[in-house]
A and B are shown apart, each in its own frame.
Chain A
Amino acid sequence: MPASVSLPAFAGPLATLRWDDGQASVEEPILEQARALDRFLASIEKRAFRMARIALRHDEDALDSVQDAMLQLARRYGRRPTEEWRPLFYRILQNRIRDCQRRRRVQARIMAWLPGLKAQEDEATADQYAAVPDRAPLPSEQLAADQAMQMLERSLAELPGRQQEAFMLRVFEGLDVAQTAAAMGCSEGSVKTHYSRAVHTLREQVGVAW
């Protein structure tokens, strides 16, 4: 009998994996690979979502991008050495983010010609969870941190795409220059240039307020 465990989705790593326990239907190397991938994705998924959210400024689009990146990584690069996963994952994610931004620009152009549709579209895509409170009231320190982060997010969102990517991958994800270059698909020199410009701009905009 397949051990199909239907625990809540947030119950933890491997909680909903459906392996045929004891029947050896899934070879040990595959199982080990799945466990390694599970650990890797669990370690980066929240940061990846936040970075996608900062770039796209939309929860659902950010979730879709992260999910696509996870699937692509598992499908195409799951058998690659684990140390290659991180730059590969972020490369896929950055491509998804760019695709989404491109799609939005096209939609915006179409909507500009069809103003009647815009209102309908906005109503259709309204977030049904937007009004649901999900945390307790924040203490004043937390509020200050939130405001500082919001300021950083706004400034990051205004940066050119490549500068934004370089900053987030280097600072938020902690990739080194070579890994960032692999994730961005450019040279290490370009990474240094983008990163230095991003830091300069952000420091001017939010550094003083902090």
Chain B
Amino acid sequence: MSDEFESKAKALFEDSVERLDARTRSKLTQARNRALDEVKQGAARRRWIWAPAGGFALAVVIAIGVVVWPGRTAPQPGAAALEDLEIVADSENIDLLQDQDVEFYAWLDEQ
């Protein structure tokens, strides 16, 4: 693009650009600032979009950490609780309860 014609065209164009009126320059600056505001708002929007996802991911990580923590042992049912469970699960005891006179036990309780 070293041609004289193109160089002159470029020089004339640059000259006309430099002599743009104040009103046009002002409007262009305003337009630019609106575009820059868009960058800022876009960043804020992205933050809001990713915040719930980030919170959820953190909760999942914490939950996994609690479950698979190396030193952690699963809670063992106590001996007494196991005994109670055996009694309740024993079908003979349930039958025994069903066969007895409930009113008799109520009377016995009142004595």
Which B residues are closer than 8 A to A by beta carbons? 1, 3, 5-6, 8-10, 12-13, 15-40, 42-43
- From A9, A18, A46, contact of B17 by CB (8 A): A46
Interface of B is mostly: helix
Instruction: Report the minimal beta-carbon distance from A184 to chain B, rounded to whole angstroms.
Output: 17
Rounded to whole angstroms, the CA-CA distance of A17 and B38 in the bound complex is 11
Given the known inter-chain contacts A134-B22, A149-B12, A171-B10, please indicate yes or no for A66 contacting B39, CB distance below 8 A: no
Contact between chains at B29 and A171 (CB < 8 Å): no
Given the known inter-chain contacts A199-B5, A199-B6, A203-B5, please indicate yes or no for A135 contacting B35, CB distance below 8 A: no
Contact between chains at B15 and A172 (CB < 8 Å): no
A-B contact pairs, 30 of them (CB 8 A): A9-B27, A9-B30, A10-B25, A10-B26, A14-B36, A17-B37, A18-B37, A26-B43, A30-B43, A34-B36, A45-B28, A45-B32, A46-B18, A46-B25, A63-B27, A63-B28, A66-B28, A67-B31, A71-B38, A78-B39, A129-B23, A135-B21, A145-B15, A146-B16, A148-B12, A152-B12, A171-B6, A171-B9, A199-B3, A202-B9
Q: By the criterion of a CB under 8 Å from any partner CB, how many residues of chain A are at the interface?
A: 52
Contact between chains at A17 and B24 (CB < 8 Å): no
* Most A CB within 10 A of own CB, among B20, B22, B24: B24
- From A34, A135, A202, contact of B5 by CB (8 A): A202
Instruction: Report the minimal beta-carbon distance from A77 to chain B, rounded to whole angstroms.
Output: 11
Q: Which chain B residues border A30 with CB–CB below 8 Å?
A: 39-40, 43
Q: Which chain A residues border B9 with CB–CB below 8 Å?
A: 152, 171-172, 202
Rounded to whole angstroms, the CA-CA distance of A66 and B26 in the bound complex is 13
Q: Which chain B residues border A26 with CB–CB below 8 Å?
A: 40, 43
